Each structure stands twice: as C-alpha cells, then as structure tokens.
Structure 1
Amino acid sequence: MSVEIERLLDDTGWQLLQELQKNARLSYSELGQRVGLSSPAVADRMRRMEEAGIISGYRAEVNLPKLGLPVLAVIRLGSHNGQNCTRIAAQVSEIPEVLECYRVSGTDSVVTLVAAASVSHLERIVDQLSLHGLPTTSLVFSKPHKRPIITRELLERGEEWEEIL
C-alpha cells in the first residue's frame, strides 16, 4: 500500500469508508457528524480518496425482481482452445443482462452473474454466451449473505495470515 493511501486510511478515513458503504447518500454534514469532521473536511477527504482510487464510485442497489428480472444465474464459461480470455470477458461484458463478469483461473475462463425476466430469457442468454465458451449455469435461489462492509479489521486479518505463512 502506498504512503498516500496509508495516510488517507487513518481511523477517520476508515470510519468514512464504513459509513459510505452503509449509505452512500449521506450528506457531507451527516458524515462529518458521524466521524467528527466539518463538511469541507469530509468533502476534501472524499475527493482525495477518489483521486487515490480508494473510492471508485457510488451506486444504487436495485431490487431486480421489482424491475421484472426475477431470474438470477451464475454462468461459468469454459474456454475453447486458442481463445483469448481477455477478449471473451470483454465481449461477454457487453451483453446487457450480464451484471458481473470475472476472468478467472481454473477450468473456467469467465464467470458471469446474469439477470433475466424468465427462464426462456435465460435460455437465450445462455445461447448467446455459448458463442464464447462452454456454459455451465447455476440458478440463484437466494442471497443469504449481503455485501459486507470492508473494514480495517478485514485487512488486518489478511496481514495476520501472511505473517503465519
């Protein structure tokens, strides 16, 4: 980790990150009250964290079934011999139903998370993805684990494991 990032991630920086991960719509004033800074100081901290790449964006989480996309699936793509995995991932990422796309190691080359309006819609997505590799599809029944809040403690746990090994 660079010196600049370490400076930004002091106790106050981590508090800001935690609050923003819980609710990215908090005002600078509200954030300042929660972490003990003025609104201008919060704005400056956030700007510097954005410039350093620590904060890479803000987003709204949407309820896919409420939008008419109740079918969620994980589709893994095995690569065909001679295919460029980077190119496959780039092409797959352009499919509108693909919510997430990861280039991975192992027998699969790409793993995607897709949303569909119906099983027949999912079938068309799988057919489209099969042009880029052999698909293996798993339907998502539920998501029992919400997106975690990234904390300093998580980072420290990783560092502790490095020391043990």
Structure 2
Amino acid sequence: MDKIDKKIIKMLSANARESFANIGKSVDLSAPAVGKRVKQLEEKGFILGYSLRINHDKLGLTTRAYINLKIHQSSTLRTAYNQIKTFKEVQRCDRVSGEDSLYILAYFKNNKGLVTMLERISQYGVPNTRIILES
C-alpha cells in the first residue's frame, strides 16, 4: 500500500460514495485508475465493505443504550453472543475481556423496548445498562 492508496482510503472513509473522478483529481489519477486501485484494495482485504449512517431519531429509535452483560457461566457465552447479535435492536455486539463478557449497543423506539430487551438477555447474565443521552 502506497501513499496514494492511503489517500484513497481516507477519502472513502469520509464519504464512501465519493466518485472515482473526484478522488482521481485529489491523487492525480484517472477515474478508471482509481477504480482499479479500489478493487485491488478490496481484493487484498484492506477495504471490507461500505456502510450507511442513519439518523435513528428520524426512524423513531429515540432510546439508545450500551448494555454490558456479565455472563452467568462461561459455557453460555458463545450461545448468548450468537443469539444477541441477531436481535433487530442490536447495532453492535462485541465479546470483550474482563469482568463483562459482552458489550451491546442497541436502539429502541422507547424505554419499554429497552426493558423488553433486558428481560430477554437476563437469561444469559447480569446486564448493566447505560442510556445514551447525546451523541
């Protein structure tokens, strides 16, 4: 990876929909040359995919929370992780080291949705919840 590739990645990180022509102007390459480099970066695993940023408030998902889950038994960790990460409310579910086993980021329409989620995951462990006030 050279400095041009790094610049391409930086520009795509800021705006994944940036045109190859516009990127090309910044790195002094043609649009097809930029496209070829992007394809190579994807094939080599430097670029894993593209994402979409969503305004969750406009979708009515106004309650957001981080939930740390301390698993009851280590034997249930894999099961809990595999189940919880599929819940529609879950934006992110990470296995972590330390006292808490899972960190979960989830979005809900209201506090009732959060309570329902906490009830669902309590079978796996003890949740510790932090509601996001502003982000």
Instruction: Give TM-score, length-normalised by structure 2.
Output: 0.95
Asked whether the 8 Å contact 2:76–2:124 carries over to 1, the reply is: no
1:118 aligned onto 2:135: no
Specify the SS of the correspondent of 1:131.
coil
Root mean square deviation, CA, Å: 1.1
Asked whether the 8 Å contact 1:86–1:103 carries over to 2, the reply is: no
Shift of 1:118: 0.3
Q: Distance in 2 between matches of 1:34 and 1:73?
A: 39
Matches within 5 A, 1:1-165: 8=1, 10-143=2-135
Q: Label 1:133 to 1:20 Cα distance change in 2 as closer, same or farther (>3 A).
A: same
Specify the SS of the correspondent of 1:66.
coil
Q: Distance in 1 between matches of 2:117 and 2:75?
A: 20
The gaps in structure 2 that reach 5 residues or longer are none
**Greater helix proportion:** 1
Q: Distance in 1 between matches of 2:30 and 2:59?
A: 39
Q: Which letter maps to 1:31?
A: I
The runs of at least 4 aligned residues of structure 1 exceeding 4 Å deviation read none
Shift of 1:87: 2.8
Specify the SS of the correspondent of 2:101.
strand
Identical residues among aligned pairs (%): 33
Instruction: Give TM-score, length-normalised by structure 1.
Output: 0.78
Asked whether the 8 Å contact 1:69–1:118 carries over to 2, the reply is: yes
The C-alpha deviation readout for 1:39-84, integer Å capped at 9, x for no partner, is 1111111111111111111111000111000111000110112424
